[in-house]
Chain A
Amino acid sequence: MTDVIEVKVPDIGDFTDVEVIEVHVKAGDEVAAEDSLITLETEKAAMDVPVPSAGRVEEIFISVGDKVSEGTVIIKLTAADSTVGLDSAAPAEVNTSSQTEVDPKQVAIPPNSYTGKADNETSLLILGAGPGGYTAAFRAADLGMDVTLVERWPSLGGVCLNVGCIPSKALLHAAKVIEEAHEMSEFGVKFAAPEINTIKLRDWKQSVVDRLTGGLAGLAKQRKVKVVQGTGTFLSPQHVRVEGDTGSQVIAFQQCIIAAGSEPAMIPGLPDDPRIIDSSGALELEDMPKRMLVIGGGIIGLEMATVYDALGVQVSVVELTKTLVPGCDPDLLRPLEKRIKGRYEAIYKGVGVTGVAAEKAGLLVSFEGNGAPEPQLYDKVLVAVGRSANGGKIGAELAGVKVSERGIIDVDKQQRTNVPHIFAIGDIVGQPMLAHKATHEGKVAAEVAAGEKSYFDARVIPGVAYTDPEIAWVGVTETEAKAQGLDYGKGAFPWAASGRALSVARDEGVTKIIFDNKTNKIIGCGIVGPNAGELIAEACLAIEMGCDATDIGLTIHPHPTLSETVGMAAEAFEGTLTDLYIPKRKK
């Protein structure tokens, strides 16, 4: 009877990556207990590593010049089985004693080793086909890699395409048409009240989604990206098991990009009731409530409130913090708040929800905080309190990938996790959880996996709230500039002086640019008003290119457009603006 044991580097003090300067054995050698296997050299001394028990060297994993640390496997040893007088119990004893001796305390997360067979192999596996995942897959395929894309949903595109950005924008478009038609009555064009067929509206929204996801499937096919449908979880640092409707398979990969995204966060303790929905449910337009509460005054909550308000629902919004869209400058929020205050049933700020009771007549919601109302009965409650990363749901620990308590995976500037051949991108690596951040990261990860020296070097990531009016910002906000004590200046242009804004009957907008006073370079921009999301792109480019106020101001913007407001905000900072009278800044 023989036992094969692994002999590892024992506790060698505070040293790691110690050089092997001599190897005393080779495969096939017979060794006696305490024979030297290798000699290590640290800065201070050389030390021999003895073999814990007698036996034959089966396999040697180390050669001269290798760097080893505590726990590195040195050899595989077959314990000697026929020492004089040894009964059959002895080998087992050898085994245990050597294991306790050579099995030193392991590193924090010992990755699992999977020894079963793999059904498929791929050089790059991408877990999740959202905007980050499919972008990474396509980029890697274009760079010549063999790519497998694993997606748990039947269609590609992830949250963004299926239950996020795209369907919500379709509905917001409908909301906008309704609003604008209504507003035109003041200016002499009166439409009849709209008849809203939610089934048709939902079908149209779905057709937009299907067109895009279908397009993605085509793009994947053209690039020969293998798409595997099912839920993927890690088995080891080299294997993922995919459980799909049609069965389960194990895929072995050389490199992996984790793009498994996030899910709507839920408030614990809410009753299980179909009338309590998250953003995905809200986009389904199942049935129109009369009275709806949106819990969470962030971007997602306010966008959905915009849709439901336009569709004739009595909307209330409750936000735990003192401001809506936390992090946004107050002067940019003001036009939005002014508009929705007159339209929504109620906006509670600094108010928390203490309980939701499911009653037959509706959901009875109780509140607390300054200005909290009496318990109110709603037909629907939309929970939009943020998103939580899916890092805890993919068996990452079996791959040795570190995941934080909040499900977030830390990465370096090349999107590498703590396991060098496994990358992570998108929502799962943390805030901001935005599709355009994920796609950029996806490209970086794919390029690095393909051997290119790419880094996430983007300086800014813009954010947009598709509310009415829209709010968009990029780079340093004024609030941050103040908090960080930056030496900044700002140029603001109120849309009341923009001919284009007035001619679309929306004069409440503001374009504001933040500049570094020392260099006059643009470091941030915030815009509120219709189409702010489109307008912010110019500021993004200006920041990436390192433009200063003069560069922006001297760029001829087409007239009459809302984009003029960007150039004029720069001129306002420079003091060269003629469309407004601004008293000279004291220099």
Chain B
Amino acid sequence: MKLDLVHDIQAAYRKTLASMSRPGLIKNLRDQADKVAMEIDCFNSTLVLALMLFDTEVTFKICSEHEAEMAKLINQLTYAKATELESADYILILHDSKPGDLEKAFQMARSGDLLDPHKGATLIIETDVVCNDRNLTLKGPGIEKENYMDVTLTDQWVDWREEKNSEYPLGIDLIFTDRENNILCLPRTTQIIKQVVG
């Protein structure tokens, strides 16, 4: 069945909204992502997010081995314009990105200015597994006491994010997607505490 650009995208949006307003809440986009009938170099859920949010007013950057093909495809599907890291509204870091790409994206991404903090970029990061294992503890708006999360990335991203978001309300927001089409959102307000081993 084909992805319904009205109803499937609406359903995916409500899940994304729930996940963004309750950081650490994992939502699954399988029902929508399975309908993507295309051979693509990114997870289906990532493409669903792009179809949900991108249009001609949006700029994006893709970090991937297949950057050129993916940028062309997303441009053709959504009319969004590919640009550089420092000016992109959305940065897609795909599972086949180079090792240094994630750090560079965290460093270079636009974090808005005090007049317009909403112009901070959103990073969509593909990772093998997104789960609620108790590796990282989350606190902040949207979380009653604390939530837990883990992703298959080295924990260094937590430090990069903390540095980037150190001057709230400036900062970047993250959406993780995984191979099972799970998504987990981290708005800039969420504080992450690493589990201390010992």
A-B interaction? no
Q: Could you list which residues of chain B lie within 8 angstroms of chain A, going by C-beta atoms?
A: none
Q: Could you list which residues of chain A lie within 8 angstroms of chain B, going by C-beta atoms?
A: none
